[in-house]
Structure 1
Amino acid sequence: MIRPAAPHDAPFVAPLIIQAMGDLAAKFANSNNPQVILGLFIYFFQQENNQYSYQNTLVFEENDQILGSLNAYDGAKLFELRENFLSYLKENHGLNSFHPEPETQEGEFYFDTISVHPDAQGKGIGKALIIAGIDWAKALGHQKIGLIVEKENPRAKELYENMGFIAQNSMVFLGGDYFHLTYCFEVQPT
């Protein structure tokens, strides 16, 4: 079952966000300590009005276990959603001049992280979350979805392309090389 996330899901979803982010999670936490990284994302998942909030997350739950998550939001709100996060990093993690490049933009619903628990991969959960995310974007009135995928992750890129996403361009984000992919809704003739 896919449902909106709740604050109490934090201990299960934060590791999924970290898994999806890979090395970026340590850059945001300004630490390689797994407990520091986990604590940061648990904290922000439970808060409102930030890009990693439960408010911006769907979870895939089966037998009372969260096996996957999708974190997404309106790209036009990126800087607004980042504000609390970056202020917290400055005050609590020593990132005084940390200004990540924008990975999304106005005009797209942005899939920030999509992740499936390692023990549940290969069972269609990622695909189900992508479909739910597409439906979510459509229900909110968006015409386009965007996401970035590391160039070193061809398997993920192939999954998104098989779901109808198209690679638009390459970009650098926090020192890593990424593809920017988009999914556009067909405009129905009137």
Structure 2
Amino acid sequence: MKIRAGIPEDAEEAVYLMNLAIDEIGQALTGEQEEAAILKVMASFFKKKQNRLSYENTLVIEENSEIIGVIVVYHGSEAAQLDWPLIEQVRMKSGNSDLLIDIESEPEDYYIDTVCVKPSHRGNRLGTTLIAEAEKHGRKLGYGRMSLNVEADNKGARALYQKLGYQKVGRKTIYGHSYDYMVKVIS
């Protein structure tokens, strides 16, 4: 098993896992309704640079050349720039030129956008391993805080993140759902 930076060729496996984690947010980010179309658009963005879903922001954990986990991280100060290509996609698809994507992170944080482990491999601390690797990467880049959002009613995930040192500092509404915004000092 190894953790490595994402590459464009990971698109199919990585976006499948990303979509498992973000569920209906995939619709908002792509402007699509059907899963196959959502995955196709997400894969297209994954293969490109400078957007939220890009391989550039992704670490994968693989076993026997199979991606079994993924984490997407980027600095909050870059969120608007990384969201812009997605906003253009959704605006074009919907015809609504005023449409925006909800801001999920604070500008001072290295933000965990998505973390997901393949269902068949859950319970083996792989998500924790991915988070630790993202924190290590954030420290290497000189960032002082990590953050993430967890659904307010997801007590199990919140307990895990608290165990890893994340503390709730606020609440965000993202696409109509309430999330606890959690932060960990990593410097």
Shared fold (TM-score, shorter chain, > 0.5):
yes
Match of 2:137 in 1: 136
Q: Aligned partner of 2:55: which letter?
A: Y
Whether contact under 8 Å (1:30, 1:94) holds in the other structure is no
Q: Distance in 2 between matches of 1:137 and 1:82?
A: 20
Q: CA deviation at 1:184?
A: 0.4
Whether contact under 8 Å (2:29, 2:86) holds in the other structure is no
Q: CA deviation at 1:95?
A: 4.9
Q: Aligned partner of 1:171: which letter?
A: K
Structure 2: unaligned runs, 5 residues or longer: none
Q: Distance in 1 between matches of 2:53 and 2:144?
A: 22
Q: Which range moves more in the overlay, 107-116 or 19-28?
A: 19-28
Match of 1:123 in 2: 124
Whether contact under 8 Å (2:31, 2:93) holds in the other structure is no
Change (3 A) 1:16 1:177: same
Alpha-carbon deviations, 1:106-154, whole Å to 9, x = none?
1110000000011111111101001001101000000001111111221
TM-score, normalised to structure 2's length? Answer: 0.95
Q: Are residues 1:166 and 2:167 paired?
A: yes
Match of 2:90 in 1: 89
Whether contact under 8 Å (2:83, 2:101) holds in the other structure is no
Q: Distance in 1 between matches of 2:30 and 2:64?
A: 32
Alpha-carbon deviations, 1:13-47, whole Å to 9, x = none?
00111111012112323333111111111011101
Q: Are residues 1:30 and 2:37 paired?
A: no
SS at match of 2:157: helix
Q: Distance in 2 between matches of 1:123 and 1:68?
A: 11
Whether contact under 8 Å (1:75, 1:106) holds in the other structure is yes
Aligned residues: 186
Q: CA deviation at 1:185?
A: 2.3
Alpha-carbon deviations, 1:62-112, whole Å to 9, x = none?
111100000000100111111111112222354533212311121110000
SS at match of 1:32: coil
Match of 1:98 in 2: 99
Q: CA deviation at 1:158?
A: 1.2
Whether contact under 8 Å (2:135, 2:186) holds in the other structure is no
SS at match of 1:25: helix
Match of 1:74 in 2: 75
Q: Aligned partner of 1:45: which letter?
A: F
Q: Distance in 2 between matches of 1:95 and 1:120?
A: 40
Whether contact under 8 Å (1:58, 1:70) holds in the other structure is yes
Change (3 A) 1:169 1:97: same
Alpha-carbon deviations, 1:146-189, whole Å to 9, x = none?
11111122111111111111111112111110000001025xxx
Whether contact under 8 Å (1:29, 1:93) holds in the other structure is no
Structure 1: unaligned runs, 5 residues or longer: none
Q: Distance in 2 between matches of 1:40 and 1:93?
A: 14
TM-score, normalised to structure 1's length? Answer: 0.93
Cα-Cα RMSD:
1.3
Match of 1:107 in 2: 108
